[in-house]
Chain A
Amino acid sequence: MYNPLEALPDASTMAKKLRVLIAKPGLDGHDRGAKVIARSLRDAGMEVIYTGLRQTPEMIADAALQEDVDAIGLSILSGAHMALVPRLLEQLRGQGQAHVAVLVGGIIPDDDIPRLKELGVAAVFGPGANTEAIIRAFQEAVTASPKAV
């Protein structure tokens, strides 16, 4: 049966949209990469909450909670990922947000990638990563770890 409301994109059907938080924890002040990713995810149809620079893991977890996001993308260029990421994951678990997928981008030494994944990070991307691959990784991570309803 034809429903004209369904023919309109986004009207009244209110399809589930992916909500993603893009955050920059730590002290490095370079957010060009984070902005490029935010824009690519938007162009892939996601709703991207961008929180800006110098966020603590506690601030990021709290923002993710209020926004009820499906995934968090962290941009870390400072080398502090092995300190920041576990703190964020711990916060998320403590708040009942264990289902939120966490993806990391930035300057991450190869040796650290398996360690991050062991901690529960869904994917890690370095400089020059393909944006299509990043978009897919977000979609897959959310599918693999749906919200408890």
Chain B
Amino acid sequence: MGLAEDVRAGDRLALARLLSWLEEGDPRGEGVLTELYPQTGLGHRVGVTGPPGSGKSTLVNQAVRWCRQHGSERVAVVAVDPSSPFSGGAILGDRIRMRDLSGDPGVFIRSMASRGELGGLARRTAVFVEALIAGGYERIFIETVGAGQAEVDIARMADTTVVVEAPGMGDEIQAIKAGILEIADILVVNKADLPGAQAAVQALHYSLGLAKRPAGAWSPPILTTIAETGEGVEALMEAVNRHQDYLLSSGEGESRELARASSRLEAELRHTLTETFQRTLADGRFEAAVQAVFERRMTPAQAAADLIGERAEA
């Protein structure tokens, strides 16, 4: 078979094309991924999230370089940036900070626009990562702007989640609200040469101290880096490797994999069921139900039950 074979053999052009098909929802992409799926279990997914301007791209640039200098043959980056809600377009600028990586045949960087979808972004990211793993990439960095629930959902797909903060980027309450501390396996205060870095570290220590953790569980380290110069990157990558070992030895990796399989399947079901159901509805029924909800004659739940019931009778 053509494309799946080429992707497996490490053909970068084929991989890039597969990613486009997956992104556009082209059914051929799904077909190729089905062939490749048995080979998608191996890679180490590292999520990197944090507020805009905290230095994520620069840090990923250094981290990938480190991996390449320390025995990783193939490393990939999926960099997600927001789409404009007005035009639907996007400026994807993470490559600017990853200039050191360009020209390295062992590195594959793909920029992805969020396209304003709620659940769909996490799904798209998941299939991207699967395609990259099938293409032989052993470690995949997933970079997202961390602001809220969507990023938490993406982070859930990672094996190891690194949350990047910078001095003066908001107090610890913001971080707690966003649920971002709960998902962090490693916390980084980047731009550690700026004033306020120590205070940020302390605030994170305090917030983490409040979290309840079972005995023997992973305790997220709080590290400082200066991504611009590469300071602290070695310690960060050692922590990432340590966490990868912990996932293996504790069985936590397997339970995360299981949780990931479950949420992927759930999302797929929701997507397929909704589509199938709507195809069975008679013309105008959906609009009529919308109208009923709009006029306050029915609650949304009543209207939905009504639509489903009507179909069952038919």
Q: Does A10 lie within 8 Å of B117, measured CB to CB? A: yes
Say yes or no: is A4 at the interface (Cβ < 8 Å to chain B). yes
Interface residues in A53-95 (C-beta closer than 8 Å to B): 55-56, 58-59, 62-63, 65-68, 95
Chain B, interface SS category: mixed
Instruction: Give the interface size class of chain A.
Output: 35 or more
> How many chain B residues touch the partner (CB < 8 A)?
44
A20 (CB) vs chain B CBs: closest residue: B89
Q: Are B108 and A10 in contact (CB under 8 A)?
A: no
Residues in B with CB closer than 8 Å to A52 are 93, 95-96, 99
Give the CA-CA distance A44 to B84 in the complex, in Å: 10
Total contacts A-B at CB 8 Å: 117
**B110 near A66: Cβ-Cβ < 8 Å:** yes
Quote the shortest CB–CB distance from B222 to chain A (angstroms): 31
Q: For the complex, is B91 an interface residue (Cβ under 8 Å from A)?
A: yes
Determine whether the beta carbon of A48 is less than 8 Å from that of B110: no
CA distance A50 to B92 in the complex (A): 6
User: Which of B19-27, B171-179, B210-218, B236-244 sits within the interface?
Assistant: B19-27
1/0 per residue B79-107: CB within 8 Å of A?
Answer: 00001101111111101100100110000
Residue B278 at the chain A interface, CB threshold 8 Å: yes
Q: Which of A34-42, A101-109, A111-119, A125-133 contacts B (4 or more CB under 8 A)?
A: A34-42
Question: When the two chains form their complex, are residues B271 and A49 in contact, meaning their CB atoms are under 8 A apart?
Answer: no
Report which of B87, B88, B93, B116 forms a contact with A50, defined as CB distance below 8 A. B93
B79 to chain A, nearest CB (A): 10
B120 touches A47 (CB 8 A): no
Q: Are A50 and B96 in touch, CB under 8 angstroms?
A: yes
Nearest A residue (CB) for B117: A11
**In the assembly, what is the distance between CA of A16 and CA of B113, in Å?**
12
Q: Which A residues touch B248, using CB under 8 A?
A: none
Nearest CB of B to A66, in Å:
6
**Nearest A residue to B105 by beta-carbon distance?**
A62
**Is B169 among interface residues, defined by CB-CB distance under 8 A?**
no
Please give 12 more A-B residue pairs, beta carbons under 8 A apart, in addition to A42-B91, A67-B111. A10-B88, A10-B117, A14-B25, A47-B92, A47-B111, A48-B92, A58-B103, A59-B102, A59-B103, A62-B103, A95-B13, A96-B13
Binding site for B on A (CB under 8 A): 1-5, 9-17, 19, 38-39, 41-52, 55-56, 58-59, 62-63, 65-68, 95-97
Complex A-B: 14 CB contacts under 8 Å: A2-B284, A4-B278, A9-B88, A12-B117, A17-B113, A19-B20, A43-B89, A48-B91, A49-B111, A51-B99, A59-B103, A62-B102, A65-B16, A67-B111
